[in-house]
A and B are shown apart, each in its own frame.
Chain A
């Protein structure tokens, strides 16, 4: 079945540091890939997405590129802020399900940014 593997956390960085959170996936065909973020006390929010190989999703300074050859979708940000402290989830939806689109999530990575 489909699966998503994220780098083990938690991750602690100082403000303005560079962030990378690794994500690799296993799926049949060419899934769509997502990063969701969960701020303390809040629900999951879509951060960015990519629907085909070599697509780059970006939002709020975060970027991730769909790499089919390495089945990866790593999340990056050049300069993190304290407000980026949250749990980040990588997820996929299999292609071809016109009425489904269930999300398969990774385990999540807790990011803490210190001032």
Chain B
């Protein structure tokens, strides 16, 4: 009954460091998404993958890269972390367009 699993849950980085946030879903969904949530705001789309083998930019893609490793896994990479990327990152997945997105518990990322 895992749903969407994100790792790690918390991370502190120094400016300029790189890291990859991992996301896996066990619901056999085709579409996966990465959002960020800044304090007091709603979620904003970073990248999405409509299906295995495809990725597209969302509203705030700068400074990020993604990889859709297979149908289950969708990773988000920060190549050179900046303080402006301090945020909570959510991964989500969905199947049909009228079905809700299922979210992971989020990764709280701080960049000093």
Do A and B pair up? The answer is no
Q: Which residues of A does B touch, CB under 8 Å?
A: none
Q: Which residues of B does A touch, CB under 8 Å?
A: none
